[in-house]
Chains A and B, each alone.
Chain A
Amino acid sequence: MAHGVRATTRRRAGGWWPYAVPAALVVVTLYVLPLAINGGLAFTDWNSFHSGIAFNGLDNLVTLQDQASLVNQVRLTLVYAVTASALGNAFALVLALALERPTRSNHLFRAVFFIPVLLSPLAAGYVWSGLLDPSGPVNQVISLAVPGFVEPWLGNSDLAIFLVAAVDAWKWSGFFTLIYIAGLTTVPVELKEAAVAMGAGRWQVFRYVKLPFLAPAITFNVTVTVIGAMSAFDIVMATTRGGPGSATRVLNVLTLDQFGNGLYGLASATSLVVTALVIVTAIPLVTVLRRREIEG
């Protein structure tokens, strides 16, 4: 009997395998395998100047710290990720609350704010390097009020990382707005009506009625923006290419620079740092946000 049941289960599982095998093969050979190899290459001296590849322990991380101040670039990448996520989510949430009702004008606004999502991040970067150019429209408008005003925005090493992250937020917030709007539709109408009938103000309705139902959307949006921004690359390449100096040289740009110089081991090590960074931020982030969902 027990044997029979197990055989049936096995047959059933076996019956499903042909459907999953192609996808599993793609995952294993084209994703997991390269990731695993990267974990090895990161600790080798592989480069384009000699043919052999040998393990060199932690030399790559030491070299990256000495020559490219790795710790500082990790910090920059985190500043970028937090800025892009905070700005993008704050704007998207406000926009979602303003566009919550499915009226015709609101549909139009949603579509307009979605346009940047369709632009390639590279193109979005060029749009904003034009807008923020020293002679560009932003300075033109400001100098109407402040004659002679010239700020090189993206050339300012203190501001550049925040501005580039803001471009990231601009590019994606239309998408996150739609996710928040979908979250708002899960709020039961009776609950809102009851709260209003009991004399709750706008803020209270938001805080105590809508916000708890928005928790899954917040989890999704915050996780996706933070993790996505860890791999920031295109927008930086189009706006500052890592500069001025190395003020916006986020980790993926550093990877390209090492790769371009033929230092493949160093490029792998940098890429491994990105992977590690995603793991150590994503896991606690998802855990904390999920826990809040249950409480909320």
Chain B
Amino acid sequence: MNRAVRQSRTLEACRMAVLATAAIVLVGLPLWMVVINSFKGQAEAAELSLGLPRAIEAAANYGEVFHQSRFIAGFMSSLLVTMASVGALLAVGAPAAWAFARSRSRVMRLAYSVAIVGVILPPAVVPMVFLMRLVGIQGSQLALILFTLGLRVSLVVFLMTGFARALPRELEEAAAVDGASRLRTFVQVVLPMMSPVVRTVFVIVTVLTWNDFYGPLFLLQGDNATLPVGLYRLSSGIAQATAWNYVFAHVVLVSLPLILLYAFVQRRIVEGVTAGAIRG
């Protein structure tokens, strides 16, 4: 074996060792601390040790989180807001992206610039509360859904238009020659071609909406709270020291749905996200 090969093998071994250490220290141990302490009793969890539980209180902890933080109600609220927002965003985003990608009119180009302004600028939450009060839906999930639509529509239009621009026109032209109406062309020819970006946007916006805390904190009241608000109340509602066993049990429960979703769709999403970012 020559020296260069041996040297590159050593280098490769070093690379793997450093990466493995980083993965364990930065991801493995934090997650381990969360999961293992969610199984311990409150006093034992207060030690925040990484050791195995002396007594397993998992059922009690997770049961308590279900009751105390009204987990099921929060879950349903999160699910409702996420599904309604994401569905509406895809429904308005896909046709708009096609129009912005194909129309050459100056007005449409201007409309596109306005439509993507929210990719960079932050939303204004206080007037939204004001407006929702004006129309009498302040504190309801509908108010949060409307806020989320305004908050994310720019990102959705931006990602989908970038994708639609790169689609080949030949199929659409052929459909037009065959006498298909524009609507029919959109439904039968364009939408199927857009399915990769639809999936990507679906996952991105689902993750962002499910995890959002800022919007719901301002816009939802009382029992309508979504899961992140429930987590915040759980941790700040306890007067003395933080009850880490409950907080961590909630963290596990609130994070699992997205980790499962991601595990199913992983590869396609990674491709979609990175392609959009580099092109944009």
Partners in one complex: yes
Residue of A nearest to B211 (CB): A120
CB of B121 within 8 A of CB of A24, answer no
The reply to whether the CB of A279 lies closer than 8 angstroms to some CB of chain B is: yes
CB of B117 within 8 A of CB of A130, answer no
Give the most central of B244, B248, B258, B270: most A CB within 10 Å.
B270
A contact set with B: CB distance below 8 Å: 9, 12-13, 15-20, 22-24, 26-35, 37-38, 41, 98-99, 105, 109-116, 118-123, 126-131, 133, 135-137, 140, 170, 175, 178-179, 181-183, 186, 216-217, 220, 223, 227, 230-231, 233-234, 237-238, 241, 252, 255-256, 259, 264, 267-268, 271, 274-275, 278-279, 282
Q: CB-CB < 8 A to A170: which residues of B?
A: 26
Contact A20/B33 with A264-B130, A268-B127 known, Cβ cut-off 8 Å: no
CB of B275 within 8 A of CB of A182, answer yes
Q: Is the contact region of chain A dominated by helix, strand, or loop, or is it mixed?
A: helix
Q: Is the contact region of chain B dominated by helix, strand, or loop, or is it mixed?
A: helix
The reply to whether the CB of B50 lies closer than 8 angstroms to some CB of chain A is: yes
CB within 8 Å: A-B pair count: 244
CB of A137 within 8 A of CB of B213, answer no
Contact of A35 among B16, B92, B121 (CB under 8 A): B121
Contact A98/B127 with A115-B27, A217-B278 known, Cβ cut-off 8 Å: no
CB of A130 within 8 A of CB of B244, answer yes
CB of B213 within 8 A of CB of A122, answer yes
The reply to whether the CB of B48 lies closer than 8 angstroms to some CB of chain A is: yes
Contact of A41 among B31, B33, B37, B130 (CB under 8 A): B130
Residue of B nearest to A140 (CB): B49
CB of A37 within 8 A of CB of B228, answer no
CB of B107 within 8 A of CB of A27, answer no
A110 vs B19: C-alpha distance when bound (angstroms): 10
CB of A120 within 8 A of CB of B214, answer no
- Stretch binding the partner chain, chosen from B58-66, B69-77, B151-159, B165-173: B151-159
The reply to whether the CB of B96 lies closer than 8 angstroms to some CB of chain A is: yes
Q: CB-CB < 8 A to A259: which residues of B?
A: 126, 129, 218
B contact set with A: CB distance below 8 Å: 15-16, 18-19, 23, 26-31, 33-34, 37, 46-50, 91-93, 95-96, 98-100, 102-105, 107-108, 111, 114-115, 117-118, 120-131, 146-147, 149-151, 153-154, 157, 182, 186, 207, 210-211, 213-214, 217-218, 228, 231-232, 235-236, 242, 244, 247-248, 251, 254-255, 258-259, 262, 266, 270, 273-275, 277-278, 280
CB of B124 within 8 A of CB of A271, answer yes
Q: CB-CB < 8 A to B102: which residues of A?
A: 16
Contact of B108 among A20, A27, A279 (CB under 8 A): A20
CB of A271 within 8 A of CB of B120, answer no
Q: CB-CB < 8 A to B182: which residues of A?
A: 15
Q: CB-CB < 8 A to B277: which residues of A?
A: 179, 182, 217, 220
Contact A126/B235 with A16-B102, A216-B278 known, Cβ cut-off 8 Å: yes
CB of A20 within 8 A of CB of B100, answer yes
Q: List 26 A-B contacts (CB under 8 A).
A: A9-B105, A13-B103, A16-B99, A19-B95, A27-B114, A27-B150, A28-B114, A31-B117, A31-B153, A37-B127, A41-B127, A113-B26, A118-B259, A122-B231, A128-B30, A130-B247, A133-B48, A137-B29, A137-B49, A137-B50, A179-B278, A182-B278, A238-B235, A252-B214, A275-B121, A275-B122
Q: A23-B92, A128-B30, A271-B122 are in contact. List 6 more A-B contacts (CB 8 A).
A: A26-B153, A130-B37, A135-B47, A137-B33, A220-B277, A234-B214
Residue of A nearest to B30 (CB): A127
CB of A30 within 8 A of CB of B126, answer no
